[in-house]
Amino acid sequence: MKMFAKAFAIIAIAAAPVAAQPLDGQMVGGSLLATQDTPTQFGNATGGGQDSAGGSEVNQLFGSISGGTLNLGITGNLEGNFNKLWIFFDAVPGGENVLSDDNADGGFGEINAMQGMTFDSGFEPDHGLRFEVGGGFLGIRYFDLIDNVGGDIFTAGGTGDLPLNNAAGALGVNIGWDNSNVLGVDGASAAGAATATTGWELAIDMAAFFGSAGPVGVTAFVSSGDATFLSNQVLPGVGGAGNLAGPGNVNFNNIAGDQYATIVPEPATLSLLGLGAIALIRRRR
């Protein structure tokens, strides 16, 4: 079952390239990796403001690697109360399948509140990003689980600075973020997950951020502001489970399916085959 899910994700990546820039967090799309299968138990925003008052959710995950750039899109929204969106990547050897207590996230060390959280077998994240907004602050931070360091990618004054449009951050990370989503899942059903079209768009320079050309494993989820409580908003999804509570007690191996997807670089041979086909058609004419 898990091997089939991985194969399906890789096929989808090869089939549809991610949309080109600009990065504005609108009409997020591209190579579909996962669609939310779980109604949110972290509230449901309905007002359409950039503070997403009322709740947080993640609806769909998109990604590709092309020309040395990781293109990533997540539809959804993050409540402006310092809830966190975490994105963990497995891009190089030597990551942490079980989170330790010696990591840094460039903020107040919320990542260490998640020590003991166990990812699926075969997923050993080594880098990541953390998003938050609330009051008069907006922060996007990176963390490196191998060197145990973290720091700012991009900061701003809060929800008033959203949406972000082609925001240039540190370490080769460029960002679009529109936090106004009111579509997608709600508290009763995940049936509308694919209707959400706004959220986060990222273009990440693979060499600058990872020192690697790929492939990359990825998972994304929402936590409380202090990261002591994990929501049920995870991509890929948790199959209708409720909030996962204390992250240290979470073992994703105990949840059906993989809670991560694999993104492989688009092979240059596909482009060459396409050019060859065009040449052949012209020759036949």
> Which tens digits make up the pLDDT trace of 124-135?
999 999 999 998
Residue-number span of the structural domain to which 152 is assigned? 2-284
Whether the pLDDT of residue 17 is over 80: the answer is: no
Total domains present in the chain: 1
Q: Between 34 and 14, where is the model more confident?
A: 34
Confidence at residue 13, expressed as pLDDT on a 0 to 100 scale = 37
DSSP letters, 187-254, are SS--TTGGG--BEEEEEEEHHHHTSS---EEEEEEEE-TTSSSEEEEEES--TT----B-GGG-BGGG
Least confident span in 11-20, 73-82, 109-118, 222-231: 11-20
Share of the chain above pLDDT 70, in %: 86
For residue 94, CA distances in Å to 48, 98, 154, 253 come to 41, 12, 26, 20
pLDDT score of 39 more than 90: yes
Confidence bin at 30 (pLDDT 50/70/90): confident
Name the least confident of 33-42, 166-175, 236-245, 268-277: 268-277
Taking phi over 0 as left and psi of -120 to 50 as alpha, with beta for the rest, 108 belongs to alpha
Reported as a single tens digit per residue, the pLDDT across 228-258 is: 999 999 999 999 999 998 988 999 999 999 9
